[in-house]
Structure 1
Amino acid sequence: MYANVIIDISHEKVDKPFQYKVPDKLTGKIDIGSPVVIPFGRGNTTRKGFVIELTDEPNWDPAKIKEIIDVSDEVVSAQDISMRLAAWMKRHYGSTMIAALRTVLPAAKKQNRQVHKYISLRMDLRQARDLYNECVRKKQKARERLLKELLENPEDRIPYEFVTGKLNIASQTIKALSDQGIIKVESEEYYRKPVAAESSRYGKAVLSDEQQHIVDTVKKDYDEGQRNTYLIHGITGSGKTEVYIALIDDVIKRGKQAIVLIPEIALTYQTLMRFYRHFGDRVSVMNSTLSPGEKFDQMERARTGDIDIIIGPRSALFTPFPNTGIIIIDEEHESAYKSETMPKYHARETAIELSKLLPDGAAVVLGSATPSLESYYRAQTGEYKLFELNRRLTGGTLPTVEIADLREELRKGNRSIFSLRLQELIEDRLSRGEQTMLFINRRGLAGFVSCRSCGHVFKCPHCDVALSEHRGGRLVCHYCGYEEPVKKICPKCSSKYVSSFRAGTQQIEDEVKKFWPQAKVLRMDADTTRAKGSYEKILSAFANKEADVLVGTQMIVKGHDFPDVTLVGILAADMSLYASDYRASERTFQLLTQAAGRAGRGDKKGNVIIQSYQPDHYSIIAASKQDYKEFYDEEIAYRDLLSYPPVSHMMSVQIMSKDEEEGMAFATKLRTLMEQRKLEGSVFIGPAAASIGRINDIYRMAVYVKMSDYQGLIYYKDLMEKYIRSLEDQGKLRYISVQFDFDPVNGF
């Protein structure tokens, strides 16, 4: 028997299978997806690899084929489905097979299981009492303390930590007593459980007619063997989570498991608690704040059936459940579902592919108040089934939204961050003891620092981006981490007029405190949420009304439910419109609508103030009306006109080079290569410098290809990969790397 093995080196040169002999001792122990230890290369260096195929046919002289050394215990064996999904990702998104395997194979490093130890009496009670009296007589204090505790509770096992801690008995003493047969020490393995909450199970929520219709339809399809993709377009507060819970309830009763994806860690806690109250500890969580041991244990719990539901960001999609029945993607429009490292997969498309690969299939449910244009377009064309939820469950209505024209504010002489109307409403909420959320799409103290005399902007010497001012007089690059002290004099014209464009979360927090010293303020951004548990801390404090105002970046506007928030202020609403990205209007509409949806979720009326320099932009007007359909109709017309996704498909070929000229020359070669084999209906753009042309002294450029046929883009990708491999084999491509991004979500 021979195994074709992919070596665990993330490099294109070894992105092909190598054949090894399966020794007799490992026959029956190796399967597709098994991690194995093998000798590799001339020096027979020990490497790890993954079996991707088993065969009884050697590819060359059997005498020259090396043997597998052993099965690796470092990684948990992958299932056939994971291997097939990795192969699909490699083909669909462009990457090495190893990078794809690393993505789909969970919790790489095997962790030692946690152990609880217990101590109990081994001898009968009469002997134990005699021994106790002897210890008292001989003044053997430690033994006396332990035996006294055991005699008082002869039926119980005492935790080891209690004995060593509270009773202050050394481990040598415990070992000696165990060796003498006086006590026994038992060990029990247990799983680390990251959810530290009491399960107070709630009864079933009573669903509205709209909600019940969704649940009934999906159940009926399931009974008939149909595994569809569904899009729930529900206004903020319309009860999408209750629908998810009802659907999961049904799937679990069928003996299957559920994966719930949420866009980022900030949402994990609140979502998790809602599921935990219903399903108890059959729910667990997977995210980047868990320790390697916690991650490994959650994967093991899923594999062994100890849990039915996993909640987490996109990587939770690869949880090795034995029988996944439903995959739910909440806030499906979020860009966080697109990976920014190779393979640049989208969780939505990958979930749909995974659902097809599962033996019994799975339903895929997408939910959002502001669906991505891709999902809504597919729902309009009948590829997905569309459901609408148009009523707020609380009985509350959508908030009153007003747009404040910042140009007008300036004319009135108002130079503060807050418009006069917003100041008036914050004042009102503070007097009534209600809460306010202030949202800005910025982090740090300031946007950029410039000279007001000559216009010089302080930039990072390694990246094509402006430095941001942070507290402590530091200028920081948010891309490579470069720092320098704030300069008082302009290096270009020696002017003293150096100041920053102040519009960061810290600045807003300071301004609130300056205007309203009595207000208690919390701030939530990437800087305040670095420590483990900091999200939960800030959100819990705000939910418990320990603060009047919550200031934050976009992490505060998504999915949270605070019934006492009756005012949301959106500062510099149009900032995201200035991004050089065809999705800028869509992003702006989604952010504003989601932010506005945080107000008036309880029984009190909500107000939203959108502050903008472009109050007549269609995305801002549609967001102020909370009218998705109006925005979609306008935006899809532009996308159709310019052949952008979702009407067409697009591939970004991203070239990174240490030398700018060499990189641009190579990018031109790639375009020429595609033009020589041009398919009908394809459009090429570039090469051109990326929107950020240099990061960390690496130059970046891109070639874009638009085409309605996705398979055509894969054809071009395969063509370029083959060409790049041939150059690498000849040693002609040393300081250039190429990545592919299909239907890019984030600018490059």
Structure 2
Amino acid sequence: MKYADIIVDISHEDLDKTYQYLIPEQLRDRAVIGAQVLIPFGKGNRQIKGFIIGLSDKPKWKEDAIKPITALAEDALVMESQLISLAGWIKDTFGSTMNEALKTVLPVKRTVKQKENRMIKAALPKEELVIILETERKKNNKGRVRLLEALIRTPSLDYNWVIDTLRLSLTTIKDMEKLGIIEKESSVLYRNPIKETSSTGRTIVLTPPQQEIVEDFLKEYREGTRQTYLLHGVTGSGKTEVYINIIEEVVSTGRQVIVLIPEISLTYQTVLRFYQRFSDRVSIMNSKLSQGEKYDQYIRAKNGDIDIIIGPRSALFTPFQKLGLIIIDEEHEGSYKSENPPKYHARETAIERARLCDASVILGSATPSLESYKKALDGEYKLYRLTDREGKRQMPHIWTVDLREELKARNKSIFSRKLKTLIEERLQRKEQVMLFINRRGYAGFISCRSCGLVLKCPHCDISLTSHNGGKLICHYCGYEENFPEKCPSCGSKYIASFGTGTQKVEEMARKEFPAARILRMDMDTTRKKGGHEEILSAFAKGQADILVGTQMIVKGHDFPKVTLVGILAADLSLYAADFRASERTFQLLTQAAGRAGRAELPGEVVIQTYQTEHHSVVCAGKGDYEEFYNQEMVYRKLMSYPPASHIMAVLIASKEEEKALKASELLTNALKQWEEREELLEYHVIGPAPARLSKANDIFRFCFYIKEEDYKRLVAAKDFLDGFYRFSEEFQGTQVQFDFDPMNSY
């Protein structure tokens, strides 16, 4: 290869541009993608660092105008090089452009005003300051007198305090600096997003099973073994304690650690526990931080000022120079899969990043994803099990209530008789209750009981959702309209909301239990910065008796006084048009049940359902993961769904419906012709058809799926379709996206 596409070091220039350089003959063997280079840049040919992200034999403009690379960096592979190599792997593995992958792994340099800590210090000994003070008093220089008096008491003063409190002019400060009486000093002040958190140094005493896992992992780590481990521990078994003990050892060797968590809402409690052990050597990275805070955490990590970063999916790309361990807690969570190109999965990407920097990976969950558990059973991951709760505390007693029987008994409340009785008992005993519902908003959909009309968004093919204040809102594009007094189709007044959301549950709970203090936690109540922490902290301090919420309340939280969890409409997620619906339902029910009885007080759980006989409900009621896995895998093998096979979704979008349909047909036909021409085994293609969300923001969407056991064959199909789409004029005005083993159906 003669030419290299180079992205300049992100600390200098905009990420989005690449520049082509000539590779000198003597460097061609070592000029590989991800290599760090020194290049002449701009009119002045100033020497700056850059990274090779592409190689080619063809010049993009006149050959004599292309500058040569000056040199390759002689030092070992550095952080940015690793992340660029990772971006190349993401591009190839998950089907995206290099630019999309680079934007994911490297933060775009934004102009962020750095905070400075500015001080004014005495430049002379105290004795000399006293002599100068007497001279300035005789001259009646009041400003200088105030500053000298302050410096004699305290030889180092905050700059802003001097200006604001001592009321000194900038001229006075400059004059005294010129005379050599004072000197100014400034240092960059990095924002720390962790506030009001104290370090207690609490010692964790491990149980024998926990100790066994820690010792086995560390033995292998010290011997240089780097692999992926799956920690399958029941809820309350102390997975976090295992993580903390392992991290302590890894950090003591000079290596750094990334801890991924699925939701921003988990950060508060997780950080608290880590901060108590590691103090200010731990920090967080999440979307609620300001740009300044994010940039500061990036620099702190790059400079080695912190050892541990905690955050959701994006924290995986923290620029640690000596990364030694990546932990993915609640690894089964769907939020670890990106919904925007590149549609990477954090689990596989973490394993690749760990391979690049000689690190280990620990995946942890009470309800592992079928993909991870299968790999553990196949020996690809090493499996650890924690089968008991800490302190031999009992797992909660689970009641499964058939809502069909409740209706027969003329109970039309959202609270079954059993749940109502148990809530009243808890309120009398001053214990806490969590009510979980996996819906958001005031209600499900708006429908006319006379003609059956469902009110939909005019821009997106989904039903509008009713919210407080008489508003109907589209949760895809944000479109709003007022709740109609009568049906716009037939004029009937029998138009109402169906389904139950968190706001409605909160209202009904207030009516049913008027003395109870109730908090609600969902997307609407946690929009503002710090919203999660505020609600969770209030509940943890006992400022509420009942916490009503969506799935964000059931993941990983530990509240000692919660002795009852009510799961309303437990089977609602079974109705999703998605092959993972049963798995998600089982995980949600098990995770929700796991919030009860985590301390000395025993816990109970009420699962309210219409599908008492469904295997995900039955197995969750028994707390039997293995039985659920075995039953679900039978279905996955039968239908050739992951992890028994692989599936790739191809999404085609256009502002013109006809164009989107035609493009989807062209792609599926081209795939068939390619199979015949190359004499390949036939791919199993489903579709094309309109996507489930067939219209969003006035853009029409079609999709088709390809099932294939061999992942490499799926990647080959993606490469062919991507090339066909990019080099054919017939696809103008359309967009094509690829998604491997999607977490949601299209």
Q: TM-score, normalised by structure 1?
A: 0.91
Greater Cα shift, 287-296 or 336-345: 287-296
Q: The residue matched to 2:392 in structure 1 has which SS? A: coil
Do the aligned partners of 1:647 and 1:708 also contact (CA within 8 Å) in 2? yes
User: Where do residues 729-740 of structure 1 align in structure 2 (5 Å cutoff)?
Assistant: 730=729, 732-740=730-738
Deviation at 1:468, TM superposition (A): 0.7
Inter-partner Cα distance in structure 2 for 1:123 and 1:613: 82
CA distance in 2, matches of 1:648, 1:55: 36
Give the match for residue 671 of structure 1: 668
Structure 1 gaps of 5+ residues are 9-13, 24-29, 41-47, 72-76
Which one of the candidate residues 381, 391, 401 is aligned to 2:388?
391
What residue in structure 2 maps to residue 700 of structure 1? Answer: 701
Number of residue pairs matched? 720
- Indicate the residue corresponding to 1:600 in structure 2: 597
| Mapping 1:733-748, distance limit 5 Å | 733-748=731-746
> How big is the shift at 1:134?
5.6
> Where do 1:246-265 residues align within 5 Å?
246-265=245-264
Match of 1:26 in 2: none
Q: CA deviation at 1:518?
A: 1.6
Offset of 1:239 from its aligned partner? 0.6
Which residue of structure 2 aligns with residue 74 of structure 1? none
Residues in 2 aligned to 1:195 and 1:450: alpha-carbon distance in whole angstroms:
46
8 Å Cα contact 1:78/1:105 also seen in 2: no
| Mapping 1:287-302, distance limit 5 Å | 287-302=286-301
Cα deviations by residue, 1:459-481 (Å, 9 ceiling, x for unpaired): 10011111111111111000000
Which residue, out of 637, 640, 651, partners 1:640?
Answer: 637
Determine helix, strand or coil for the equivalent of 2:390.
Answer: coil
| Counterpart position of 1:660 | 657
Q: Quick one: structure 1 residues 382 and 262, their matched pair in 2 at CA, closer, same or farther if it must change by over 3 Å?
A: same
Which residue type is aligned with residue 689 of structure 2? A
- How far apart in 1 are the matches of 2:409 and 2:120? 77
Helix, strand or coil at the partner of 1:684: strand
| Equivalent residue number for residue 98 of structure 1 | 99
The residue aligned with 1:45 is none
Distance 1:743 1:66 in 2: 43
The correspondence for 1:376, drawn from 373, 376, 379, is: 373
The one-character-per-residue Cα deviations of 1:517-537 (angstroms, maximum 9, x if unpaired) are 221111111111111111111
Distance, in Å, in 2 between the alignment partners of 1:101 and 1:275 is 30
- 1:535 maps to amino acid: H
Question: Any conservation in 2 of the 1:451–1:498 contact (CA below 8 Å)?
Answer: yes
- Provide Cα deviations, 1:549-584, integer angstroms capped at 9, x if missing partner: 111111100000000000111111111111100000
Distance 1:610 1:294, change over 3 A: same
| Aligned counterparts of 1:50 and 1:664: Cα–Cα separation in 2 | 40
> In the superposition, relative to structure 1, how do residues 37 and 641 fare at CA in structure 2: closer, same or farther (>3 Å)?
farther
Which segment is superposed worse, 92-101 or 504-513? 504-513
Query: Does 2:322 align with 1:319?
Result: no
Contact 2:4 2:23 in 1 (8 A): no
CA contact (8 A) 1:38 1:67 kept: no
TM-superposed CA distance for 1:597, in Å, is 0.3
Partner residue, 2:12? none
Is 1:515 the counterpart of 2:512? The answer is yes
Match of 2:475 among 465, 478, 502: 478
Q: Are 1:278 and 2:277 matched, yes or no?
A: yes
The alignment partner of 1:232 has SS state of strand
Matching residue of 2:539: 542
Distance 1:131 1:18 in 2: 59
Equivalent residue in structure 2 for 1:572, among 549, 569, 572: 569
Matching residue's letter, 1:243? V
**CA displacement 1:341-390 (0-9 Å, x = unmatched):** 111000001111112222xx111110000000000111111111111101
Q: 1:454 aligned to 2:455?
A: no
User: How far apart, CA to CA, are the structure 1 residues paired with 2:657 and 2:108?
Assistant: 38
Matched to 1:541, the amino acid is A
Aligned counterpart, 2:484: 487
| 2:38–2:69 Cα contact (<8 Å) kept | no
1:425-480: per-residue Cα shift (whole Å, max 9, x none)? Answer: 11111111100111111111111111122111111001111111111111100000
The C-alpha deviation readout for 1:316-352, integer Å capped at 9, x for no partner, is: 1111111211111000000000001111000001111
Partners of 1:107 and 1:299 within 8 A in 2: no
AA at the equivalent of 1:215: V
3-state secondary structure, aligned to 1:444:
coil
Who is 1:5 aligned against?
A: 5
Task: Please give the secondary structure, in 2, of the residue aligned with 1:194.
Answer: coil
Provide closer, same or farther for how the CA distance between residues 695 and 521 of structure 1 changes in structure 2, counting only shifts above 3 A.
same
Runs of at least 5 residues in structure 2 that lack an aligned partner in the other structure: 9-14, 25-32, 44-48, 73-77
Where does residue 690 of structure 1 map in the other structure? 691
Change (3 A) 1:340 1:516: same
Residues 384 and 489 (structure 1), Cα distance of their counterparts in 2 relative to 1, 3 Å cut: same
Partner of 1:722: 723
The letter for the 1-side match of 2:744 is N
TM, length-normalised to structure 2 = 0.91
Report deviation, 1:303: 1.7
Residue 35 of structure 2 is matched in structure 1 by 32
Q: Per-residue CA shift, 1:95-128, capped at 9, x if unaligned? A: 1111111111135336443211111223444553
Check conservation: 2:367, 2:625, Cα contact below 8 A.
yes
1:437 aligned onto 2:434: yes
Contact kept in structure 1, 2:37 and 2:69, CA below 8 Å: no
Does 2:501 align with 1:504? yes
Tell me how far apart the structure 1 counterparts of residues 52 and 198 of structure 2 sit (CA, whole Å).
42
Question: What is the aligned partner in structure 1 of residue 217 from structure 2?
Answer: 218
Question: Shift of the alpha carbon at 1:669?
Answer: 1.4
Would the aligned equivalents of 1:681 and 1:707 in 2 still touch at CA under 8 Å? no
Q: CA deviation at 1:49?
A: 8.9
- In structure 1, the partner of 2:164 is 165
State the match for 1:231 in structure 2: 230
CA distance in 1, matches of 2:456, 2:651: 23
> What letter is aligned with 2:298?
M
Measure the CA separation in 2 of the matches of 1:693 and 1:36. 48
Aligned residue identity for 2:629: Y
Q: Which moved more, 1:251-260 or 1:522-531?
A: 251-260
- In structure 1, the residue corresponding to 2:573 is in which secondary structure? helix
Q: Is the 8 A contact 2:343 2:739 kept in 1?
A: yes
Counterpart in 2 of 1:616?
613
